Amino acid sequence: MTAKRDILGRVRGGVGKGDFAGRRAAAEAVLNARLRGPQPTISDGLIERFRVKAESLASTVDAVSDRKDAPAAVAAYLSANGLPMRVVVAQEIESLDWSGCAIVSAARGAVDSDQVGVTACFCAVAETGTLMLLSGPDSPATVSLLPETHIALVDTSRIVATMEDAFALLRAEREAVPRAINFISGPSRTGDIEQTIVLGAHGPCRVHLILIGISS
C-alpha cells in the first residue's frame, strides 16, 4: 500500500491541482463523450477496401454468397494448398455442415498439433483490412493463434470503416469487453534478422479469409 501512496502522492504533486472529485467527474464525462480523433475518408466501398487492404497484408481472400457455402470454400482452400482435411473450429461455427464437405472438424480450443484453425469474427475493419475477434466460450483465442493456417469467415454485413466503428459496435452489442479483443491483420511476421520480413514468426503463417454475402 505504501508504494501506491508514495507514487500517487508524487503524481498529485506533479499534476499540482486540487479538487480531485471535481476532476474525476470531468474525466467520467470524457469517458461518456467518446470523442473521436481525425477519421479517414474511405472512398471505395467497405467490402472492396477491406479486400484490397487484407490482400496487401498477405492474406488471401475468397468469397461465397451464403454462410452455408463456407465449408465448401474451406475444403477447396485446404485441397488447393495440400493441407489436411482436418480442422479445429470455433464453437460458434460448429453447426455448419463440415462433414458434408469431407472435413473432419473438432469444435474446441486449439492445441499445438492442430494444423488448421477456422473462426468467425466479431466484425472487420475496412480501413486497415483487419479482423476483430472476441475471446469467449464459443470463440477460444487459441484457434486463430496456434495452427499454422488460420481461416476466418467474414460476414460482409459486418465490415465497418474504422476501429472506432468496431468499438461502437462492441458497445452496442456487448455489455462488457471480453477478456481478449484480438485485431488480426494478416499472417504473423518478423523483421528481426537483418530487417528482412518473414511470414510466420509465432502465429499463423497463412491467413485465408472467406467473405460471406457476395453473390457470384
Of residues 28-87, those binding other proteins (CB under 8 A): 28, 30-31, 34-38, 40-42, 53, 57
Closest distance between other proteins and the C-beta of residue 75, in Å? Answer: 25
Q: Which is nearer to other proteins, 82 or 137 (CB)?
A: 137
Closest distance between other proteins and the C-beta of residue 77, in Å? Answer: 20
Gap between the Cα atoms of 214 and 124, Å rounded:
15
> Under DSSP, is residue 86 helix (H, G, I), strand (E, B) or coil?
strand
Decide: 140 and 123 in contact? Cβ < 8 Å: no
User: Containing H/E element for 3?
Assistant: helix 2-15
Q: Which is nearer to other proteins, 13 or 215 (CB)?
A: 13
Closest distance between other proteins and the C-beta of residue 29, in Å? Answer: 11
Closest distance between other proteins and the C-beta of residue 85, in Å? Answer: 24
Site for other proteins in 80-139 (CB under 8 A): 108-109, 112, 127-128, 130, 135-137
* Binds other proteins by CB under 8 A, chosen from 175, 194, 215, 216: 194
Closest distance between other proteins and the C-beta of residue 203, in Å? Answer: 3
Q: Which is nearer to other proteins, 64 or 121 (CB)?
A: 121
Site for other proteins in 137-176 (CB under 8 A): 137, 140-142, 145, 162-164, 167, 176
Gap between the Cα atoms of 208 and 215, Å rounded:
19
CA dihedral (29, 31, 35, 41) in degrees, to 10, reads -170
How many CB atoms lie under 10 A from the CB of residue 36? 11
Q: Which stretch binds other proteins (CB under 8 A): 25-33, 62-70, 75-83, 97-105?
A: 25-33
Gap between the Cα atoms of 154 and 157, Å rounded:
9
Q: Which stretch binds other proteins (CB under 8 A): 66-74, 78-86, 114-122, 200-208?
A: 200-208
How many CB atoms lie under 10 A from the CB of residue 165? 18
* Binds other proteins by CB under 8 A, chosen from 82, 95, 172, 202: 202
How many CB atoms lie under 10 A from the CB of residue 80? 8
DSSP alpha helix (H) spans, 34-92: 46-56, 70-80
Calculate ∠ Cα 135-140-142, nearest 5°.
110
